[in-house]
Amino acid sequence: MTSADSQPGPDAEGVRLQKVLANAGVASRRVAEDMIVAGRVRVNGEVVSELGSRIHPDRDLVDVDGTAVQLDQTKRYVMLNKPTGVVSTMRDEHDRPDLRRFTQEWSERLYNVGRLDADTSGLLVLTNDGDLAHVLAHPSFGVAKLYVARVDGRVTAQTIARLTKGIDLDDGPIAADRARLLDVSAESSLVELTLHSGRNRIVRRMLAATGHPVTELVRRRFGPLQLGPLPAGRARELTTVEVGALLTLARRGAERPLAGQETQ
């Protein structure tokens, strides 16, 4: 048996690894060969450094420099800046505005990863990758999310400290990973919160418990994804780098026990 044969996915029916990487948009075939020889590519968790290696893209997992690579070109990953007034479902049984209007340019049937309530705007991931959606949408996985909230009243440094120290709610204590005051006026304040919790409407409930009910709420970050300048009501496909970061996050948590779903 040759050294190539000892690598993952060795049989001739597979596809050469450098071709798979090129087809996935990681790099040109020549650069992909350099990556393989340099030991930067892993297949199913094992470093593959032999150019003769063949894999099965439909079942093998590949990463480069620790970042997952999506080999299935039928998968779509879309970022939407969901506007307020839209419910987080593809077809609402009560005929309220739903997500279908934002997915018309994609032929694939997309689904939302998690939810934002109708009064909350911001970053929502849409995909036809059911495995990824199943992992990332569940609160037990704990994807970090960053929100910016406009609240009633003047928020103080003591309130910010309370948010990170912990607040007792009806369904148990909760603490933000980070909190900071962005702006304050006589009648309202702008607060940024980062937390992993997926408990329903947790941001609104936390701030209401401090005496500062939310009047506007937007999600600016979901895991490794940043909303950036994407206008409200617009959607775009994720870049190769963004897809890799999201898949890496999902694969790391794929074996965790999952239950429930989030709504903010």
Residues 51 and 88 in one domain: no
Instruction: Pick the closest to residue 212 from 158, 261, 256, 254 (CA basis).
Output: 158
Residue 22 domain-assigned (yes or no): yes
pLDDT string in tens for the chain (264-residue length): 333 344 444 445 899 999 999 999 999 999 999 999 999 999 999 999 999 899 999 999 999 999 999 999 899 999 999 999 999 998 888 889 999 999 999 999 999 998 999 999 999 999 999 989 988 887 678 899 999 999 999 999 999 999 999 999 999 999 999 999 999 998 999 999 999 987 889 999 999 999 999 999 999 999 999 999 999 999 999 999 999 999 999 988 765 554 444 566
How far are the Cα atoms of 137, 168, 225 from residue 126, in angstroms, in the given order? 11, 33, 13
- Residue type (1 letter), 41: V
Residues 185 and 243 in one domain: no
Name the active-site residue from 117, 119, 152, 177. Answer: 117
* CATH number of the domain to which 188 belongs: 3.30.70.1560
- Residue type (1 letter), 91: R
Residues 230 and 111 in one domain: yes
Instruction: Pick the closest to residue 164 from 149, 154, 179 (CA basis).
Output: 179
Helix (H) or strand (E) segment spanning residue 130: helix 130-136
* CATH number of the domain to which 120 belongs: 3.30.70.580
Instruction: Pick the closest to residue 263 from 127, 144, 111, 87 (CA basis).
Output: 87
- The domain boundary residue, chosen from 35, 53, 69: 69
In angstroms, rounded to a whole number, what is the distance separating the alpha carbons of residues 62 and 46?
Answer: 9
Q: Which domain holds residue 166?
A: 145-222
How far are the Cα atoms of 5, 65, 199 from residue 236, in angstroms, in the given order? 41, 26, 27
65 is catalytic: no
In this predicted structure, what is the pLDDT of residue 200? 87
Give how many domains the chain has, as a whole number.
Answer: 3
Residues 52 and 163 in one domain: no
pLDDT in tens, 67-95: 999 999 899 999 999 999 999 998 888 88
Strands (E), the chain: 15-16, 41-43, 46-47, 54-55, 62-64, 67-69, 77-82, 111-113, 120-127, 145-152, 167-169, 172-174, 178-184, 188-195, 214-222, 225-226, 235-237
Residues 230 and 217 in one domain: no
Residues 133 and 242 in one domain: yes
In this predicted structure, what is the pLDDT of residue 157? 97
Residues 52 and 158 in one domain: no
